[in-house]
Amino acid sequence: MSEPVLSACGLTKSFLSGDRRIEVLRGIDLEVVAGESVSIRGESGSGKSTLLNLLSGLDTPETGTLAWAGAPAQGGRRAEFLGMVFQSFYLIPEIDAFQNVLMAARMRKVPGQAERARALEMIARVGLTERARHLPGQMSGGERQRVAVARALMNSPRLLLADEPTGNLDEHTGDAVIELLLGLCRETQTALVLVTHNAAYAQKTNRQLFLREGKLSHG
């Protein structure tokens, strides 16, 4: 078996609510290998987004360890190691779709011809060649999310974390985005962790997990 791309062991996280401490995550163990897709479902407020923030290194766990491809997770490696897709797209409104995709590469170094060609390729792979020079404000929700997917995969990450990527989309558009996400991850052997409410989308992943009372279980 290949080395896990993502390896989390005993992650815990709690928050203070007034004078009460709420334990959101109570020892999360998770391993994801290259090319594998894992879905995480759970009720609202169950801690799915908190878990994704821990896995992405944006937030730090109180206890437990997190490794990316066998090495401790560090913020400095984030841009090259993982891509993220959010429910609210989070595109930069002042720049067009092409530049939004290129921004992921720009974070690592000043982009050259190769990076520009790669950005155009990613735009083409999400089917938006004609919309490359359009601003996010001129695009539909589905198109914006496809741009966000292209941006997340721009640096050929080994791990893709998607937090409710269809939450703001209608059913038809959501289906298309999920198919695109799964297809691209399969094709590029990128590990995918998908947080979703939708059972049908979850069924399309290799492994379905459920987050309940701060622990992961098979769904």
Partner 1 sequence: MPWYLYLALKQLFPTGRRFPFFTAISILGVALGVAVLVISTSVMGGFGHEIRRWTVETTGDVQVRADDGAINNPAEFLAQLTKIPGVVAATPFAEGYVMLEHGLKPAFPVVQGIDVDRVSGVIPLEHYIHYGSLADLDDDSIILSVQLAMAVGARVGDKVEIHTPLEYEKFKNDEVLVPRELRVTGIFEIGHPALDSSLVLVTLRTMQDLYGRRGSVDGFNLKISPGLDADTAAARINAALPPALHGHARSWMEINHDLIFIIQLEQNMIFFLLTFIIIVAAFSVTSSLLISVVRKTREIGLLGALGGQPRQVAACFCFQGFIIGLGGTIAGFGLGFTVLHFRNGIIYLFTRLTQSEAALARFYQFKELPRYSDPSYMIAIVVCTIVICTLAGLLPAWGAARLKPVEALRSE
Site string for partner 1, 1-40 (x = CB under 8 A): ----------------------------------------
74 binds partner 1 per the rule CB under 8 A? no
Placement of tokens 């879905």 in the chain: 39
The secondary structure element, H or E, covering residue 62 is none
Alpha carbon of 216 to those of 27, 29, 58, 60, 205: distances in Å?
9, 8, 20, 18, 16
106 binds partner 1 per the rule CB under 8 A? yes
Answer for which of 103, 176, 206, 212 binds partner 1 (CB under 8 A) is 103
Residue closer to partner 1 by CB (options 58, 200) is: 58
90 binds partner 1 per the rule CB under 8 A? yes
**Who's near 36: CB < 8 A, 6+ residues apart?**
5, 191, 192, 206, 207
Neighbouring C-beta atoms of residue 116, cutoff 10 Å: 14
3-state SS class at 104: helix
Answer for which of 46, 68, 86, 174 binds partner 1 (CB under 8 A) is 86
95 binds partner 1 per the rule CB under 8 A? yes
CB of 95 to partner 1, least distance (A): 5
Q: What is the DSSP letter of 33?
A: -
Please give the Cα distance from 165 to 146 (Å, whole number): 10
88 binds partner 1 per the rule CB under 8 A? yes
Binding site for partner 1 (CB under 8 A): 49, 53, 56, 58-59, 75-76, 78-80, 84, 86, 88, 90, 92-96, 99, 103-104, 106-108, 110, 135
